[in-house]
Amino acid sequence: MVKRLIIATIIAICPLYALAQGLITGSIKDARNGDALIGATVIVKSEKGKGAVTDVDGKFQLQTKKEAPLTLRVEYVGYRPLDVDVYDFEEPVEITLIDNSSRLDELVVVGYGTQKRNQLTGSVTTIKADIFEKAPVPTLDGALGGQVAGLAVTASSGQPGADSHIRIRGGNSVNASNEPLYVVDGFIYFKDAANNSTGIGAIDGSLNPLATINPNDIESIEVLKDVSATAIYGSRGANGVILITTKKGKIGEGQAHVNYNYTLGVSSVAKKLNLLTASEWAQYQKDYFSNKGGYTDAEIAALGKGTDWQDEVLRNATQQTHELSINGGTEKNRYAFSANYTDQEGIIFNSGFERYNFHVNTEWELQKDLHFGVNVTFGRSKQSGLTTAESKVFNSSPFSAGITNSFVYALLMPPVVSVYNQDGSYNFGNPYEYAYFAIGDHAANPVYDLKESVADNINNYLLSNVWATYKIGHLTLKASVGLNSEKLTQEYFSGAYTSLGLATQGIGGTGNRQTDVWQQEYTATYDRDFGQHHIEALGGFTRQTQTSTHGAIRTNHYTNESLKQYNLGDGSEIYTPQTGLSEAKLNSIIARVNYTLLDRYNATATFRADNSSRFSAGHRWGYFPSLGISWNVDKENFLRGIRTIDYLKVRVSGGLVGNQEISDYAFTTSYSTGSYGGSSSYSKQNTANDKLKWESTASYNFGIDLGLWRDRVNIVFDAYYKKTSDLLLVVPMGFSSGVTSQLQNVGNVVNKGVELAVSGTILQRKNLSWNISANIAYNSNRITDMGSTNNVIQGSDNQQILRRGEALGSFYGLRFIGIVQNGEDVSTLPTVNGQTPEPGDLKYEDTDHNGRIDGNDRQILGSIQPDIVYGFSTQVSWHDFDFSASFAGSQGNEVYNALGRRLELTNDSYNVLSTVRDSWTPERGGNTLPLASKARPIGYIDSRYVQSASYLKLRNLTIGYRLPELKNVPVRIRVYATAANLFTITPYKGYDPEVASGTDSGAYPSSRSFVFGVNLTL
């Protein structure tokens, strides 16, 4: 009996003992793609000898005698080791490991090849595909803002499909391009939005060349910032280089991976301007303009809000995308295929962006050491925008107000005028005879303009590249041939009752531009280790030819408008047709040597020689060398005992790069055609300059890369100096030359600054991770030399100036110092327009103290160049939930608010901002706006409208949830919601402080969008 009792007791105690030991279960996956990690080791740090290994599903079981909480140590070859705190043993522990190659042994894409990150000598920032996958955007430039230190993204317009201006470490040029060079899978991409037109005019907005690339096709983006990284691109490397690598399958993967993504969203205007309502406008007429409308107090009260023309032309716009991708591989090949459809309505009526895009990326191993690949992107995009006028079409606007943008017309329309008549037809009446808005008995109706006019940019594009590599021992030979072909079609039509068509009984046009860029590359790369030495030598020849043809026709005076732009032959008056042809060639020799000693000391020497047809025969060759060195300090013995530091690298580089991005025939004499006295005529447009050559930028960089606490914190610091010489400037010429100016190499521009980027893992716990990243960059931009030219004044309002010692894009105008008040001694004040100021008039600073205000009193009021650009982002995952947010900001730049100036220029004919109600009056005073009836323009801009464009924007906010996987259904489903442009903190008074040109004349306003998405992965 006693024996049985002992046995029963042991049986009862054993499970309790086992329970006391504790059984820990869990799984280990790749943090980037969610793949199970087979063979990862898991140990209890405080318990010697206790460990487990993950199985084929990445799962493990581990028994321990320790009680919770405890810490697990997780290790896997090629991944960062991780300590995980376990607080109880009931729930499985889900662990994700980060690929260790992401910092040290990661292969980074560089010009004409790849390189290990720990061997880099240049400043290279990598952006992974995560930012596009987590926060969907229609175009890739929309996701770059705030992601890279020293990279500034400024939208040219809020119009869907519009171009963005991207600057890396400031602007270098006045008349050449400041855009970085884009390279897609090794192909130098044609991106020239400034010349991406057909010559028909009348279309407001330009199609973004980067809109041809689907962001979800991108695997990674490398931003090359210093000369060690960019000199391999020679005459096109001065503005930095952006390398885009598209997704590929994996050799030996076996099964195909299928992904489908669908989004549906809505957009609305991010900010509205506060204009006068009907009753406020009538009261304003009564108070300031002797009651021109004859309104009684009762009539004013009855008017109420009247017509909100701003609301009438804006809408809540929908957007949707469908994306399908298939990728995989076998033992001998890999492939990736994707298809994308994007349909994005604009927040202004009759505007939007539509894209069909297809992408194929394949690679075959034809035999050992011989590989062949094809990369093709093709599709069609269409941007519907606004109509506008320009000098090639009209000598002036049909309205004395000088406005040629229907959206701006809407802002100016008096709120007492209705959109529709009582019978529902459009109101083209002119009851108040407001000359600003009418010709004869017809007035402009902006709603009709926008809904009935046509202004389309249609682009059919093909980007294809075929390549082959053959490896002979340590030598790899590569040949590639590619074509970038784009056919741009522009169409517009404005009928006889539109603002642009009133004066000509309708006007329309169509044009086409065909651009073909062929590229050939032949390179040889020798890569070998010699004991403790590693050497990689690259040499090659590249050739790129560009041919562009265009033609356009415009007509007016139509009898039948039903077919709009498809019936231009109905127009009785035909403008002189526009046709043209341009060709450019660039032949180059490239060489680069990378050397590494003891895995510690690295050197990169680069050389490129370019021969460009854009310059005269004596100046076509340019030579661009660079040298970079780096030291992996963490490999030294004196740092090995410091466990806090995982890696530490010091980088130094210097060299020369260039900028050849000017028009194809700027060095030759050119003429334009026209008519005079009913006969054809020619006029001289440019005088030949056989000394014209590229701008050259000498660049120097010092950098430090630092990783701390098992790579949980990464810090990158850079300091740089860039001097651009032989600046391409338009220099005034004497009358004997037949032209007023000539493009010459004159002057220098200096950019210098510092950059800091910090990223880190704040938390990495059971089912919880939190990562943050932040970057900030300071840049000083100054013109240091202009040759014999002292000042060059630019802009339609003469609002910008080029001057030695000042930044590019400096604003030039009068300094506003207040309003003349009652009782002020006006005899001491300088005259304005030859008149002595009176109470209620504007006061300006008399800088030359001569007693009168004129153009000589203008001074620098600010610059479009930001002093500081910054960004920060955060990503949190908890169980199956994920959250991400990204911010971007700019500090120290200004924008000329030309629209605000017009809307505060008090008058009795069009609507104004509500701020005019605070205009100076004898009874109330005031010190911002003058007495309404005395708002006399002086002809120069003043400091009131050169406004701070500093801002902080929440670019993207995304919340996602991954649904539990169903048994026997191999589908992973993630649902998510994204808010874009959720808020902007800025002192700027216009629609948006992001104005690429620096002058806000009434650009398409930015929008705020909310998007819901579903992602399915097989």
DSSP per-residue codes, 593-614: EEEEETTTEEEEEEEEEEEETT
Phi and psi, residue 813, nearest 5°: -170, -165
* Higher per-residue pLDDT: 716 or 613: 716
Highest average pLDDT, of 144-158, 569-583, 885-899, comes from 885-899
CB atoms within 10 A of CB 101: 14
In tens, the pLDDT along 613-623 reads: 888 888 899 99
SS3 for 155-183 is: ECCCCCCECEEEEECCCCCCCCCCCCEEE
Could you give the C-alpha distances from 501 to 442, 561, 738, 871, in angstroms and in order?
11, 11, 35, 45
Q: Give the mean model confidence (pLDDT) for residues 36-60.
A: 84
Predicted local confidence at residue 393, as pLDDT: 29
pLDDT band per the 50, 70, 90 thresholds, residue 703: very high
Predicted local confidence at residue 10, as pLDDT: 40
Of 394-398, 447-451, 727-731, 957-961, the one with minimum mean pLDDT is: 394-398
Where does residue 805 rank: exposed (0-12), middle (13-18), buried (19+ CB within 10 A)? exposed
Whether residue 151 has pLDDT greater than 90: yes
Predicted local confidence at residue 98, as pLDDT: 73
Whether residue 139 has pLDDT greater than 60: yes
pLDDT band per the 50, 70, 90 thresholds, residue 203: low
pLDDT band per the 50, 70, 90 thresholds, residue 431: low
Same fold, 15-98 and 107-246: no
Nearest CA to 989 among 908, 922, 910, 929? Answer: 929
Whether residue 667 has pLDDT greater than 80: no
Highest average pLDDT, of 85-89, 158-162, 633-637, 814-818, comes from 814-818
Work out whether strand 442-443 and strand 800-803 pair parallel, antiparallel, or are unpaired: unpaired
* Higher per-residue pLDDT: 979 or 53: 979
Whether residue 783 has pLDDT greater than 80: yes
Q: Return d(Cα 401, Cα 981) in angstroms, integer.
A: 33
pLDDT band per the 50, 70, 90 thresholds, residue 662: confident
Of 193-207, 278-292, 502-516, the one with minimum mean pLDDT is: 193-207
pLDDT band per the 50, 70, 90 thresholds, residue 331: confident
CB atoms within 10 A of CB 703: 25
Whether residue 399 has pLDDT greater than 80: no
User: To which residue do tokens 């004499």 refer?
Assistant: 669
Q: Give the mean model confidence (pLDDT) for residues 923-932.
A: 79
Whether residue 809 has pLDDT greater than 70: yes
Predicted local confidence at residue 207, as pLDDT: 66
pLDDT band per the 50, 70, 90 thresholds, residue 49: low
Work out whether strand 831-832 and strand 852-853 pair parallel, antiparallel, or are unpaired: parallel
Report the Cα–Cα distance between both ends of the chain, in Å, rounded: 62
In tens, the pLDDT along 679-700 reads: 555 566 667 777 888 889 999 9
* Higher per-residue pLDDT: 569 or 276: 276
Q: Give the mean model confidence (pLDDT) for residues 329-338.
A: 90
Whether residue 777 has pLDDT greater than 90: yes
Assigned superfamily of 107-246: TonB-dependent receptor, plug domain (2.170.130.10)
Whether residue 756 has pLDDT greater than 90: yes
Highest average pLDDT, of 596-600, 604-608, 631-635, comes from 604-608
Share in percent of the chain as helix, strand, coil (round to 5): 15, 50, 35
Predicted local confidence at residue 119, as pLDDT: 92
Longest dimension (CA), the chain: 131
Predicted local confidence at residue 795, as pLDDT: 65
Q: Give the mean model confidence (pLDDT) for residues 35-63.
A: 85
Q: Which two tokens stand for residue 309?
A: 């023309």
Nearest CA to 563 among 655, 499, 495? Answer: 495
Cis peptide before 69 (omega within 30 of 0): yes
Q: What average pLDDT does the structure give for the chain?
A: 86
In tens, the pLDDT along 946-981 reads: 999 999 999 999 999 999 887 777 888 999 999 999
Domain boundaries, the chain: 15-98, 107-246
Per-position b or e across 381-399, b if 16+ CB within 10 A of its CB: bbbbbbbbbeebbbeebbb
Could you give the C-alpha distances from 534 to 159, 522, 599, 603, 845, in angstroms and in order?
51, 23, 8, 11, 66
CATH topology of domain 15-98: Immunoglobulin-like (2.60.40)
pLDDT band per the 50, 70, 90 thresholds, residue 38: confident
pLDDT band per the 50, 70, 90 thresholds, residue 286: confident
Listed in sequence order, the residues at least 6 apart from 506 whose beta carbon sits closer than 8 Å to its beta carbon are 493, 494, 495, 496, 498, 556, 557, 558, 561, 571
Dihedral over alpha carbons 71, 72, 75, 80 (to 10 degrees)? -40
Per-position b or e across 2-32, b if 16+ CB within 10 A of its CB: eeeeeeeeeeeeeeeeeeeebebebbbbbbe
In tens, the pLDDT along 448-490 reads: 989 988 889 899 999 999 999 999 999 999 999 999 999 999 9
Sign for the pseudo-dihedral over CA of 44, 47, 48, 51: negative
Query: What percent of the chain has pLDDT above 90?
Result: 48
Q: Give the mean model confidence (pLDDT) for residues 162-189.
A: 89
Of 30-34, 216-220, 798-802, 914-918, the one with minimum mean pLDDT is: 30-34
- φ/ψ region of 1011 (left if φ > 0, alpha if ψ in -120 to 50, else beta) reads beta
Whether residue 418 has pLDDT greater than 60: yes
Predicted local confidence at residue 390, as pLDDT: 36
Work out whether strand 951-962 and strand 203-204 pair parallel, antiparallel, or are unpaired: unpaired
User: To which residue do tokens 């690298």 refer?
Assistant: 649
Q: Give the mean model confidence (pLDDT) for residues 839-855.
A: 92
Predicted local confidence at residue 438, as pLDDT: 59
Query: Long-range contact list for 882-885, CB < 8 A, 24+ apart?
Result: 882/134, 882/958, 882/959, 882/960, 882/961, 882/962, 882/976, 883/958, 883/959, 883/960, 884/134, 884/135, 884/956, 884/957, 884/958, 885/954, 885/956, 885/957, 885/958
Q: In degrees, to the nearest 5, what angle opens at C-alpha 210 toward C-alphas 209 and 211?
A: 90
Predicted local confidence at residue 440, as pLDDT: 65
Predicted local confidence at residue 15, as pLDDT: 41
Instruction: Report the amino acid identity of residue 497.
Output: Y
Where does residue 911 rank: exposed (0-12), middle (13-18), buried (19+ CB within 10 A)? buried
* Higher per-residue pLDDT: 466 or 106: 466
Predicted local confidence at residue 810, as pLDDT: 94
Could you give the C-alpha distances from 343 to 79, 160, 217, 340, 439, in angstroms and in order?
41, 10, 17, 10, 38
pLDDT band per the 50, 70, 90 thresholds, residue 397: very low
In tens, the pLDDT along 109-121 reads: 999 999 998 899 9
Query: What percent of the chain has pLDDT above 70?
Result: 88
Work out whether strand 438-439 and strand 442-443 pair parallel, antiparallel, or are unpaired: antiparallel
Highest average pLDDT, of 14-18, 306-310, 765-769, 993-997, comes from 306-310
pLDDT band per the 50, 70, 90 thresholds, residue 13: very low
The SS3 assignment for 194 reads: helix
Q: Give the mean model confidence (pLDDT) for residues 267-294.
A: 86
Is residue 558 within 8 Å of 565, Cβ to Cβ? no
Q: Return d(Cα 607, Cα 656) in angstroms, integer.
A: 9
Rg of the chain, C-alpha, whole Å: 33
pLDDT band per the 50, 70, 90 thresholds, residue 208: confident
